[in-house]
Structure 1
Amino acid sequence: MAQTATSHQLINLLSTRANKENGLAQDVMQGLHKTPKQLSSRFFYDARGSQLFQQIMDLPEYYLTQLEYEILDRQRKEILFAFKTDSPFQLIDLGAGDGYKTKLLLQELQAQQVDFSFVPLDISPKQVEALLAELPNEFPGIKVTSLVAEYFQGLAWLNQNSQTRKLILFLGSNIGNFAPEEAQRFLCELRSALGPEDRVLMGVDLRKEPEKIRLAYDDAAGVTAAFNLNLLHRINHELQADFNLAQFSHFAEYDPIEGTMKSYLISTQEQEVQVKLIGQTFHFDAWEAIHTENSYKYSIKQLKTMAQACDLEVAEVFTDSTHGFADVLLMPRS
């Protein structure tokens, strides 16, 4: 990808707004007809949802951000040494958000005067636009290509437009958003996008004391509850529904056997909800649940098994001081 020393560009690979709304409509149509009802967590992140998640990351209960920040802050030199930064490369941040943790690596790369370009990729255009506006001031001379895209859509575009080796960041325990079989497929698809010199730095929330995990998804200030309920607000706004948010509550529980953190929206009374744009009315019994999210926690042993099944190997494991979180460096098996 040819760039000058101060090149900054934004490329939007997503479909039209109408197609995105159809995706939400299809999810609502299918999910609310199921027993039990469910909605996909991938629709959490509209503009308001993204703002609420930024607030969640600052909460005292939400240890994930704190622990991963510690890893990247204290071990950034070791992480970059393990990747070998002696030749040009692209630093690709899948689900970049505000770049809070990634900026630690950017600081180190610029301090070492490494030849690299930065590619923040996110599904939220506003997040990507905000990050692109900030980066040139915080990191003078940085080369940036910002992508508004789904993960593999963006990686496919990069592979078509550049032969430069890649360090792909998949931070924040985003792998935990997939069910184990989906996580396996994701890793295998990610492997297919890698060249022999490419690497992946993946953030993983490790199994730990169950109540600590549960509280991270059910904070005292109610920000996570607002984040979960915002899914109904989005459906109201985009699909002309009439969910009364005051008649739904957030509920979260952790299953230590499966290693699964589960989130629900609970109808606190019997009610009917109309979704005009899809011409459907949905009945809710009192205390009926909508399953909105699973977040899976892993052991290092599980991660190594998943990696091997996808022709990947764990090259390095970087953990925080409590060993509650890991950033795992993956490489293609030779």
Structure 2
Amino acid sequence: MSSLPSLDSSTATHQQTEELARHVAQGLNRSPKTLSSMYFYDDEGSRLFQQIMALPEYYPTRTEYQLLSTHSTAIADALRAADDTPFYLIELGAGDGLKTKILLRYLLTAGIDFSYVPVDISPAAIEGLEASLRVELPNLRVEPVITDYVSALQLMATKPGRKAVLFLGSNIGNFFPDERLDFLRQLAQPLSPDDRLLIGFDLQKDPRLIRAAYDDAQGVTAAFNLNLLTRLNRELGAEFDLAHWRHYTDYDPLAGVVRSFLVSTRAQTVPIAALDASFDFAAWEIIHTENSYKFTATQIQNLAKEAGFQVSNFFTDAQEYFADVILTPTT
């Protein structure tokens, strides 16, 4: 296994703290106040999300896992090059690789010639994934890239052979509609008509089922959301008193979106030392932390067309809760 050089850990941590501070300064000066869900995932947030994925209410992870297990042969055949020439399997935001390992194992067992390219901005995430792959899949060729998604695809575009790009989970649903279209167009730009893009989409279904997935009975999701404030206290010297904040979420079936919030239960002023500033909150004022859009097959078809793709394969589970969709660039 080979690994690209990464930033010194202290330098990377300093840069990440500066980026967080800028984001918080901008987000808490908006109306309504907003913080991005991307900052949920410190060490504790990642631990809590692992618990969320195991909850009975949280269907997305286990449904996509089952989907990939059921359709691994067909999905792999759709992603690999038709002439069996070597190709690159590029994953955007690989995480712990739990679901991806289903495809990796199949491709290795079938003797297919490919290299796995996990992409993440976090050196720690890449290092953790590499360590697990060395143990579980020692014969796998891994070429990790530590950068943002678009830069990684531009880099990979210079290499010969097919690029099969994975964007698993329901991460595409966290984008606002305009941002989502923009993001897919940026992904399309460095890809050729011979390349493929597989994206996971959470499908529209019973609104009660969707809502419960983001507000479980055990309160793990609430702890996950509130941990964002704990992170700001630790990393930015903020003084959020968690006793006076609540997690709230709801699903709007008209817009097809789950919206999550942190709610101030009283009028309060919160100093943030790293910003040398304080922020006022009215009683019951919210901080918007996450959107999670759900899709129909028609919406996916239309989105693909607008972004410069066409749907070549549409895989779903028996209950049609989730879809892994393979897109082909049209130009």
Shared fold (TM-score, shorter chain, > 0.5): yes
CA apart distance, 1:99: 0.5
Is 1:260 the equivalent of 2:257? yes
The 3-state SS of whatever aligns with 1:287 is: coil
Would the aligned equivalents of 2:145 and 2:152 in 1 still touch at CA under 8 Å? yes
Distance 1:216 1:197, change over 3 A: same
The 3-state SS of whatever aligns with 2:157 is: helix
Distance 2:230 2:121 in 1: 19
Would the aligned equivalents of 1:172 and 1:203 in 2 still touch at CA under 8 Å? yes
CA apart distance, 1:84: 3.3
Give runs of ≥4 in structure 1 deviating > 4 Å.
Answer: none
Distance 1:137 1:197 in 2: 33
Is 1:219 the equivalent of 2:216? yes
Map of 1:137 onto structure 2: 135
Q: Report Cα offsets for 1:91-132 as digits up to 9, x if no partner.
A: 111111110100000110011011111111223333221110
CA apart distance, 1:158: 2.7
Would the aligned equivalents of 1:118 and 1:142 in 2 still touch at CA under 8 Å? yes
Aligned partner (choices 265, 288, 291) of residue 291 of structure 1: 288
Q: Report Cα offsets for 1:12-70 as digits up to 9, x if no partner.
A: 37983333222211221121122221111122222222222222111111100111111
Distance 1:44 1:149, change over 3 A: farther
Map of 1:3 onto structure 2: none
Is 1:30 the equivalent of 2:44? no
Map of 2:12 onto structure 1: 16
Would the aligned equivalents of 1:77 and 1:108 in 2 still touch at CA under 8 Å? yes
Unaligned runs of 5+ in 2: none
| Structure 1 length-normalised TM | 0.93
Distance 1:153 1:127 in 2: 18
Is 1:120 the equivalent of 2:118? yes
Unaligned runs of 5+ in 1: 1-6
Aligned-residue sequence identity (percent) comes to: 49
Aligned partner (choices 158, 161, 164) of residue 164 of structure 1: 161
RMSD of aligned Cα (Å): 1.6
Would the aligned equivalents of 1:11 and 1:145 in 2 still touch at CA under 8 Å? no
Would the aligned equivalents of 1:68 and 1:326 in 2 still touch at CA under 8 Å? yes
The 3-state SS of whatever aligns with 1:34 is: coil
Map of 2:174 onto structure 1: 177
1:218-257 matches, within 5 Å, as: 218-257=215-254
Map of 2:195 onto structure 1: 198
Aligned partner (choices 48, 68, 85) of residue 72 of structure 1: 68
Q: Between Structure 1 and Structure 2, how many residues are aligned?
A: 327
Distance 2:239 2:145 in 1: 34
CA apart distance, 1:197: 1.4
| Structure 2 length-normalised TM | 0.94
Distance 1:271 1:174, change over 3 A: same
The 3-state SS of whatever aligns with 2:320 is: coil
Distance 2:115 2:55 in 1: 32
